[in-house]
Structure 1
Amino acid sequence: MRTEVVDGLLTLFYDGSKNLFNANLYIEYDVVWQRLRKSDLTKEEKMNYLSPECQEYVKERWTWEQVIVEEGVTFIQGNTFALCYNIESVIFANTVTIIEDYAFYRCKKLACIKLSVNLESVGRSAFHSCKLSSVFLPPRCRIVHTKAFARNKNLINLVVPRGTELGPDCITGTKLAEFAPRLLTWIKNINADDKYALHRACASYNPLKEVIFGIIEEKGLKAFKEKNEIGITPSRYLQENPYTDLSEMDIVRDYMSKKLNFQEYM
């Protein structure tokens, strides 16, 4: 494993060759931090209550600002990045099929993830108490365990394949949960209502221009700005979708070009 600065972030290239989680040091840190939680001590002063080995362990984990999971890694072991408070972004190689329990637990700055297209399972509390506002689960994902995305306070956009099983309280403590009780059924159908066809096309894995063209031919370009029941537009889905390089501007430009060429031909 190596680290280097990428896009201004100190990035860990994770190859799975080393177990990054030490249960004993984790417990030591957690016990001390909980005991001093309400004290007036600074973070640096609290560190003095840890053993030298634990200090080194914690400080290293706090240096990482981004994680790139390299090709060949098939699973992220439980607790691997738990309490890595400064990680902002994680990009998973497409070889990853499983993210185990608590893998990114309380990564409080984690706001952006690009999941593996082959991901099958998200473990219990895997992304609990992060900063995610948008999550796109790939087509092969079959189960999201309990509290997987709980306490991501700003989470409002969750795209889930129809066959995916969502565990209890997987989005508790999020903005999205405010739309309960029928929310999870609605999410799993991915806007099944035909009036939201453009939402569905823009949120899908590998959105196709041809499909989008067909919809806006019928509905007009204004459909990009229509909000669904939780206030999200197709524009936002397309902008945040990690599985596409399409932009709304490119689509509009190509669409208008086709229309003009057709009119000239007529």
Structure 2
Amino acid sequence: MRVATVDGLVTLFYDGSKQLYNGELEDEWITKWRQYDRNYQGWEDWDLSDECKQYWRERQSWQQIIIEEGVTVIPDGTFLICRNIKRVIFADTVVRIKEHAFYGCIQLISLKLPIRLEVIGQGAFNACDLSSVFIPPSCRDIYYSAFALNRNLEICHVPQQTRIGDEMVFGTKLIEESQFEIDQWGHYHHQIREVNHWLKNINRNEKYSLHRACSSFQPLKEVIHTIIQLKGIGDFKTQNEIDTTPSQYLKENPYCDLKEIDIIRDYVMKMMGENE
């Protein structure tokens, strides 16, 4: 494993050769964190062992994680509470992301999941800052609260064949602004089956094919070109009866405020090699 600066971010190239998570040191730090009313400030002055301080200091230095080719599994808690990670890019060899692997990465906003991914463990991306998630068709299972407490999450695409664990998205904008009843913490205990069905169907409508292609885990410019040729780029500009555009979710999910220009800039223009 090595660390370098890439795109202005301190980047860890993870090859799986070293166990990054240390449960004893993590528990030592969390015990003090609780004593200080869950305040992260001034932790360098806490009564921690030198080993724990170095462990925590190193984990908080990482801003980007690139999982290298050949890695197949991300072990439990590997990047737990690495609070400054903003972007994670997986090699397509990864098939399993285990329990709490990226739990508490509160600045994580960009995620490229591997196209061969099969399992996402319990709480794997709980309490991150993702606004969109696209699960690859290869994924068989997503476990409890895998993407919960991503407060800004409003776009989530889950394949029909994927098994969804309980409360995968509780505490997210997607569920809080839906028609489902939730408690004060954003849980939907009594509607799990209905919510899981809804998650698998909110963007299946043909109207959203361009949006779906642009938002995919690995958008292909050939696919985008084909759809634009069939539908015309005017689909991005045509207003409809509820004053949204065909590039947005409509009846299935009328709560998304993602602007069409953001889709064009972030996906279409990049995939076509145009300037932003």
Q: TM-score, normalising length from structure 2?
A: 0.79
Aligned-residue Cα RMSD (Å) equals 2.8
Which residue identity does 1:66 align to in structure 2?
Q
Query: What's the offset of the Cα at 1:37?
Result: 2.0
CA distance in structure 2 between the aligned counterparts of 1:17 and 1:202, rounded to whole angstroms: 35
**Cα deviations by residue, 1:72-110 (Å, 9 ceiling, x for unpaired):** 000100100001111111111110010000001101111
CA drift at 1:173: 0.6
Secondary structure at the aligned position of 1:210 is classed as helix
Written as runs of structure 1 = structure 2, the 5 A alignment for 1:214-233 is 214-216=230-232, 220-222=235-237, 225-226=245-246, 227-228=248-249, 229-231=254-256, 232=258
**Seq. identity, %:** 41
Give the CA deviation at 1:137: 1.3
Worse overlay, 94-103 or 231-240: 231-240
Counterpart residue number, 1:27: 27
Give the number of equivalent residue pairs. 246
Q: Partners in 2 of 1:248 and 1:213 — Cα distance?
A: 17
| The 10-residue stretch of structure 1 (127-136 or 11-20) with the greater mean CA deviation from structure 2 | 127-136
User: Aligned in 2, Cα 1:78/1:193: closer, same or farther, shift over 3 Å?
Assistant: same
Are residue 193 (structure 1) and residue 197 (structure 2) matched? Answer: no
Which residue of the partner structure matches residue 256 of structure 1? none
Contact preservation (8 Å) 1:197, 1:215: no
- Superposed displacement of residue 53, structure 1: 1.1
Write 1 or 2 for the structure with the bigger share of helix: 1
Query: Which residue is equivalent to 1:263?
Result: none
State the 1:212 CA deviation: 3.1
The one-letter code of the counterpart of 1:67 is I
Question: Alpha-carbon deviation of 1:145?
Answer: 0.8
Q: Tell me the CA shift for residue 125 of structure 1.
A: 0.4
**2:159 maps to what in 1?**
161
Shift of residue 241 of structure 1? 5.6
Amino acid at match of 1:15: D
* Greater gyration radius: 1
CA contact (8 A) 1:160 1:190 kept: no
2:33–2:39 CA contact under 8 A, matched in 1 = no
8 Å contact from structure 1 (residues 199, 234) kept in 2: no
Partner in structure 1 of residue 77 of structure 2 = 79
Pair 1:39–1:158, CA change in 2 (3 A): closer
Work out the CA distance in 2 between the residues paired with 1:155 and 1:21.
27
Unaligned runs of 5+ in 2: 181-193, 240-244
* 1:190/1:23 CA distance change after superposition, 3 Å: same
Secondary structure of the structure 1 residue equivalent to 2:111: strand
Distance 1:189 1:213 in 2: 25
- Uncovered stretches (5+) of structure 1, i.e. residues with no partner: 251-266
Q: Assess, with a 3 A threshold, how the Cα gap between structure 1 residues 30 and 212 changes in structure 2: closer, same or farther.
A: same
- Could you say which residue in structure 2 is the equivalent of 1:66? 64
